[in-house]
Structure 1
Amino acid sequence: MGKIVKIVAGVAIAAAAIALAAPTGGLSIAGALSLTGIAASVVGAIGAAVFATVATLALNALIPPPGTKRDPENYAQSLADSQIIIGKCRAMSLKMAFFHPVGKTHRYFVWVVAGHRVKGLTRWYLNDEVVSVNGAGMVTSGKYAGHAWLWFERGDHDAVANSTFVAECGGKWTTDHRGREVAKVYAKFEMTDEVVQAGRPVITCEVEGSDEIYDPRTNATGYSNNAILAFYWWMALPREEGGFGCYPDEIDWDWVATEANVCDEQVPLKAGGSEPRYTLDGFMQTGADPSSVRGILVENMAGRFTYSGGLMLARPGYWVPVSSTISEDDITDAVAYDLLTPGDQRVTEISASWNDPDKLYVADELPLRSIESPDIAQGSLDLPFVKSRTRGQRIQKIRLLQSGAGITLSLPLNINGLGLAPMDTVMLGGNRYPRLSNTAFTVTNWSISPDFGVPVSVREENEEMYAWSIADEIDRVAVSVIDRAEMISEPASTADTAGSAGEVSDGTTSYTPAQIRQLEDRIAALEP
C-alpha cells in the first residue's frame, strides 16, 4: 500500500545513505575500534539506518496536511510519501521513472497516483485541459493529440507490466516491473517540433479512490465516498501505510453503520434533485501528521470526534435528540458557566474554501456567512474533502451557529456522571437553574476527580444549528460584465454649431477638420 511507494522511491537515497554512512561513519568508527569484517558491516548498516530514519523524520515534518490550496501537480523526489485517495478528486502524482531510449524520439514516464488500489480513472488532464484518450491510449484532443499516449493502471493485486514500456524501453522496464497495489500513470510522448515547443505538460487525472472500503450495513467492501465509511477505512489503515492505525477493537461497527446512514441522507438542492448529506472526496500524503489529518476529515463533515470507552468515535454534524436529563441531586456544587465561548472560538462571520470540480478542482471561496453582532470576529474553514458547493455552505452554517451559541458549562457531578459520554445531548432538570432548564447541551468532556466526582463540560446545542432548506443556499455571486462602448463613426451634426466653414463646435470650443482627424486617430489608438 502506501509504504510500497516510499520503499520504491527511496531505493536511490537508501543506496546513497549506505555509501555515505560507510566511509564517513561506519568505517571510521570501525577503524577506531579495530573492527573488521562482519562487525564493520554492521556498524555501516547501523549508520545507514540512522541516516535514513533521520531523513524520513525530517521529510515527514515537512509534509503538509490536506488543504484546498494544493493545486494538482507532478513532482519528483528521491524519498517521498505516496498519496491516499478517498472519493473522487483530481490527484497529484509522483514521478517514479523516466526513460529516453537511445536512438528513439519518444520519452517515457511512470507517475504514481496512489499507494493503494483505486476504483479507476474518470478523466484525463494535460496541464489544465481535459483531453480524450482512445482505447489504444493515444491522446485524441488538444495540442498533444496524436503525439502522446496515456495509460492508467489502478493498482490491481495481480497487475502486470505495461507491454508498451516493456517492448520500447530497451530493457529498462521489464515484465518484473509490475507495481502491484500502486495506482499509476504510464505516459509516452513523441518529441515532434510541436511537442518540444509546447513542453512536457502536467499530467493529472480525476480518480475515484479506494475501492476497499468496508460497509458494515451490507458486509461488503468496495468504493464509497460516504464520509463515515471513508473515515473509518482510513482510521483502520495501518500507520506505516499512511492511516491512523486503529486496533480492530477500537472501532464499533454498529456505531459506524448508524452514522453512515446519516451521511447517506438526501438533502434537497435549489437547482433540483438532492445530494448525500456528507461525503469525503480528496487526497492526503502518507507522511502527514495522523492527528491533523483526522481533525481535517472530521471538520469536512461538520463532525466531532472522541476517544471514549476504548473506542474511536466520530459523528458527522446533525442534531442528536436529548438522551438524558441531569438531576439537581447529581450536581454536587455550583455550576460554573460563561455566556461566551473563548475569543479564539467565537466568530460572527465565517469564510470557507473548497475545490470546485467545475473549475478544474482549483480552490474557490464560498460566500461569506455572518450573524448579527455589534462586534466582528472572523473565522475561516478549509474544506479540501468537500466537492459540493451546497455541502460546503451547510458545513459553514453549522460551524458559524455552533460558535455563536455561546453558553458553556462546567458541571460538578457525582458518580452518576459516569453514565454520560462525550457527544451525548443532555438537559438540566429541576428549578435551581431556570434560565438553563430549556437549553440542550452536548457533552464535550468529562473526567474523574480524586474525590470520585465527575466534572463534566458541556456546550450549548440546538436543532436549528443543523436545519437546512433550499432558502439557505446562497447562489454563486454573479459577475457583472460591462459592454464595450461603441465608437462614434462620424462627428456630431454641425447644424446647430457656430464657427468658420469646415469647423465643428461643441458650443465652447471649435475644432478644425485636421484637429478632428487627430482626435479620431487618438481614439482609434485606444481601441483594443
Structure 2
Amino acid sequence: MAKVVGIATGVVMIGVGIAQMNPVLIAQGIMTVATILLAPSMKARTASKNTLTIGETAREGIFGEGSTGGSLVDIFNYGGKYGTDWTVAIYALADHRCEALTGFYVQDKWVPFTGDGLVAGYKNQLRVDWRPGAWDDEVPAWVLANCPVVGGVPTWTANDRGRGVAKVYVAWKADKSDAKNPVWTSGSPWSSFLWVVKGLRCYQARKDSSVGGSGAHRWDDPSTREWTDNPIDCRYTWARGIYAGDHVDDPAMLLLGRGLSDIEQPPENVFAPANLCDEPVALKGGGTEPRYRIGGVFGGDDKYIDTDDDIASACGGYTVEREGAIEIVPGAAQPVLWDITDDDLIVGSSVNSSDFRTQTDAEWVNTVAVKYIEPTQQWKDHSAPVRRDTADILADGEAKVAQPALTLCTSGTQAQRVGEMKRRMGRLWRTRSLTLPPRLVGVEHGDWIRWTSKRYGVRPVPDEPVAIIYRVESDSQDKGWQNQLTLREIRTDVYGWTVDDELDDGSVAIDNPTPDFSGAPGGGDWTLTAELVSGNGLAAPALRITGAADSDTVTSILFDYAAGSASPDAEDDAAWTSAGTLTGSATDMLIPGVMAGTTYWAAVSYQIGAERTDRLILGPVTTPAAETGGGRMLLEDGGRFLLEDGSQLLLG
C-alpha cells in the first residue's frame, strides 16, 4: 500500500507541476515515481545469483566480470578436541574455466584475492584456495588430509577434481568462546560469501586469421582464447557453445549456450559490432571506458532469447535475424543502406502509417530510470541518475516513465548512455508498414532505410517532401518475393553523447568507516631485542621493545612478555605477563629482571577508546648471560641477581 500511495503522490506532484508550469515540482514528482517503481524481476534475479545455492541447481556461466554466491558442493569439520574447530566448504562458481578470482565479500567485508592460503586480517582463521576450472585442477592437500573418513574410505580423494568447474575451497576456524575480539562477529560465515570472478575465456573471431581476422585465435583450439567483457565476443562464444573441459569437438560435452556451427553463426558477422563495443568513450571525470561491456551470471536454464535480450539491453542494442542467423546490433548510428520513394511501392499494396503513440504504448517515453548492477554496492542492482527533459513532460501532459533493467551492465555511465538512447527513441513516434517489390528483397531486419514520401512523410506535406530515416523492425517475403516491412523512425542523434551529457550519481550510499579493532598493530612498526643493562658496574639481561603507534586514535600502548620455546596464544591473557602501559606515539619500553639465557616473546597492543586491539607478537629472542662489572660478579639465582658477596640486587 505504501508503494501505491508513494506513486500516487508522485503523479499528483507531476500533475500540479504541469498545471503550474513548475519544472521543480515536476522533477520532484518524477524522482518520487522513479524511486518507487523498482524492477522486481531484476531484483529477484540479482538476489538469486548473489545467494548461495544448496542442492541441485542449473549450470551457470559468467560473462566478463561478475558476482555469484556459488553453489555448495560439500561442507565438513575437522580439528580440535571435538573435531569442530575448523569448517571446510567447497563452492562451485561456474561450469566452465574462468580467468581469475578477483576477490570476495565475507560478512559484507571486501577481501581482494591475492593467492591461495591464509587470508590476511583474519588472525589465521580463514583460508581460501581457488581452482579456475581447468581439466586437471588438483584438490588442495589440506582438504585431502582433513576430510572425513567413512568406513575407512576418505570422502575426498585426489581424483575428485570436479573437472571443468571453477571452484573455491574455503576453511575457517571458529572463535574461542572467550575471544576478546572475535573474527566471526555475525556467526559462521558459510552462507555470507559473495565471489567476484573474471569468467569466460572467449573465442574472438577478430583475432582469428583463418576466418578473416588477425591473430592466433582458433575456435577448435580453446587454449588460444582470452578473457574479455566485450558483449559481442562473449555472445558469440555462448552461441557457438560452451563445452565441458573445452572439448569443442564433442557435441555430447555441450554444457551451456546454443552449440551452433560457424554456418549458423558466421564469425565474420561479429567483426564490426565487436570493434564498435571496444571504442573508447570519454568520461566526465577524465579518462575513457569501452563503449559497451558486460558482466554477470547466465544460466543453463535461461531461455536463449532471454540471454540474447540481456546482452542486447546492456549495450543499448537489439536482436536481428539475418539470413537465418540471430545477431545483436549494439546501440550506435548505422549507415543508410536503402533509399526509396513512393514510386517504389507496389501498386495496389496497402501502407499503414502512424505518427503518434497510444497512451499505453511503452515506446512513448519522456523519463528513463535505468537499473544496472553496481560493483561498488556489493554488486546489487542500482538506479542510474534519471534521464528526462522537463519540456517533453510538459508537452506530453504527464510523465511517461521507462525503467530498463540492464542485468549484465556493471557501469553506471554505460547505463546512463543506454538510458538516454531509450529516452530519445521515446520521442520518435512514427511507424510505417509497407510492401516493396522483389528488386528490394534484400532489405532486412535492422537495416536503416531513408524514405522520401509526399503521401506518408511529414504532415502537413510540404512542397518538397522531407526524407525520414527508419529502422526495419521486421521483414518477410511472400512466394512472389515481395518484401513486407515494418518500420520505426530513427535518427543518428539518438546515439550522440558527450561528457556534458553525463550526470553525477548522487544516490550512491557510502557507509562511514567503522573502527577495526580486530587487527593487531602493524608488524613492521615494532621490534624486540635482548640486551644487557649496565648500572653501578653491573650488567643484567633485559628486553627492549621499540617502535611507534601507527594510528592517531591510539590512547595508550600495552606491553606484555612471556618465556617459552613456542609462541604463546595471542588471546590467552594467562600466558602473558604485563610489562606496563605507555602513552604517546614514539616508544621505548625496557623490561628488566628477566632470566639469562632464556627464550622470550613480547607483545604489543593498542587501547583505542574503550577497545583493545589484538596483540602483535614479537620474537623470539634469547637473553644474554650476565657479565661482571667493576670487579664484582653478577650471578643469577632463581630470577634474582646477586653480587658475589651474597648481597641482593633488585632490578625492575
TM-score category, normalised to shorter length: 0.7 to 0.9
Q: Of 100, 119, 131, which residue of structure 2 is paired with 1:153? A: 131
User: How big is the shift at 1:381?
Assistant: 0.9
1:340 aligns with 2:356: yes
Identity fraction in percent: 23
Matches within 5 A, 1:351-362: 351-362=369-380
Aligned to 2:302: 288
Aligned to 2:22: none
1:266 aligns with 2:289: no
User: How big is the shift at 1:282?
Assistant: 0.9
The 1-side partners of 2:160 and 2:138 are apart by 8
Aligned to 1:110: 90
User: How big is the shift at 1:164?
Assistant: 1.2
Matches within 5 A, 1:399-478: 399-429=422-452, 431-435=454-458, 437-449=466-478, 452-477=481-506
Structure 2 residue ranges without an equivalent (≥5): 1-40, 149-153, 177-181, 208-213, 218-224, 244-253, 459-464, 511-652
Matches within 5 A, 1:134-149: 135=115, 137-141=117-121, 144-149=122-127
CA deviation map 1:303-348 (0-9, x unaligned): 1112221222211000002111024332023432111245133222
The 2-side partners of 1:66 and 1:289 are apart by 17
1:253 aligns with 2:275: no
Aligned-residue CA RMSD (Å): 2.5
The 2-side partners of 1:80 and 1:65 are apart by 19
Distance 1:408 1:136, change over 3 A: closer
SS in 2 for 1:421: coil
Query: Which shifted more, 251-260 or 333-342?
Result: 333-342
1:93 aligns with 2:70: yes
Q: Of 333, 340, 343, which residue of structure 2 is paired with 1:329? A: 343
Aligned to 1:278: 292
User: How big is the shift at 1:389?
Assistant: 0.9
Alpha-carbon contact 1:443-1:459 (below 8 Å) kept: yes
User: How big is the shift at 1:107?
Assistant: 1.4
The 2-side partners of 1:306 and 1:96 are apart by 40
Q: Name which structure has the greater RCO, CA cutoff 8 Å, separation 6+.
A: 1
Query: Which shifted more, 285-294 or 458-467?
Result: 285-294
Alpha-carbon contact 1:65-1:285 (below 8 Å) kept: no
1:370 aligns with 2:370: no
Q: Of 188, 200, 203, which residue of structure 2 is paired with 1:200? A: 188
Aligned residue type for 1:182: V
Structure 1 residue ranges without an equivalent (≥5): 1-62, 482-528
1:235 aligns with 2:213: no
Instruction: Tell me the TM-score normalised to structure 2 length.
Output: 0.60
CA deviation map 1:196-225 (0-9, x unaligned): 763222122211111133343444221111
User: How big is the shift at 1:132?
Assistant: 5.1
Aligned to 1:42: none
Aligned residue type for 1:388: S
The 2-side partners of 1:348 and 1:161 are apart by 56
CA deviation map 1:134-172 (0-9, x unaligned): 65511212xx44211111111012212221101111422
Alpha-carbon contact 2:471-2:488 (below 8 Å) kept: yes
Larger radius of gyration: 2
Aligned to 2:174: 191
The 2-side partners of 1:267 and 1:92 are apart by 32
User: How big is the shift at 1:290?
Assistant: 1.9
The 2-side partners of 1:353 and 1:424 are apart by 29
The 1-side partners of 2:206 and 2:507 are apart by 44
The 1-side partners of 2:306 and 2:451 are apart by 34
Distance 1:439 1:132, change over 3 A: closer
Aligned to 1:310: 324
Alpha-carbon contact 2:42-2:381 (below 8 Å) kept: no
User: How big is the shift at 1:109?
Assistant: 0.8
Alpha-carbon contact 2:473-2:486 (below 8 Å) kept: yes
Alpha-carbon contact 2:373-2:410 (below 8 Å) kept: yes
CA deviation map 1:49-96 (0-9, x unaligned): xxxxxxxxxxxxxx999944556222212x211321011122221001
The 2-side partners of 1:337 and 1:133 are apart by 58
Distance 1:426 1:466, change over 3 A: same
The 1-side partners of 2:509 and 2:147 are apart by 54
User: How big is the shift at 1:101?
Assistant: 4.1
Aligned residue type for 2:367: E
Instruction: Tell me the TM-score normalised to structure 1 length.
Output: 0.74
Aligned residue type for 1:86: F
Matches within 5 A, 1:375-386: 375-386=398-409
Which structure features the higher share of strand residues? Answer: 2
User: How big is the shift at 1:437?
Assistant: 3.6
SS in 2 for 1:393: helix
The 1-side partners of 2:388 and 2:278 are apart by 28
The 2-side partners of 1:293 and 1:74 are apart by 22
Matches within 5 A, 1:67-86: 67-68=45-46, 70=48, 72-77=50-55, 79-86=56-63
Distance 1:258 1:197, change over 3 A: closer
Alpha-carbon contact 1:94-1:111 (below 8 Å) kept: yes
Which structure features the higher share of helix residues? Answer: 1
User: How big is the shift at 1:272?
Assistant: 0.3
CA deviation map 1:373-396 (0-9, x unaligned): 323222111112111111000001
Aligned to 1:211: 201
User: How big is the shift at 1:452?
Assistant: 4.5
The 1-side partners of 2:356 and 2:388 are apart by 17
The 2-side partners of 1:233 and 1:121 are apart by 21
Aligned residue type for 1:287: D
Alpha-carbon contact 1:347-1:379 (below 8 Å) kept: yes
1:119 aligns with 2:119: no
1:387 aligns with 2:410: yes
User: How big is the shift at 1:302?
Assistant: 0.8
SS in 2 for 1:345: coil
Distance 1:278 1:132, change over 3 A: closer
Aligned to 2:562: none
Alpha-carbon contact 2:369-2:385 (below 8 Å) kept: yes
Distance 1:203 1:145, change over 3 A: farther
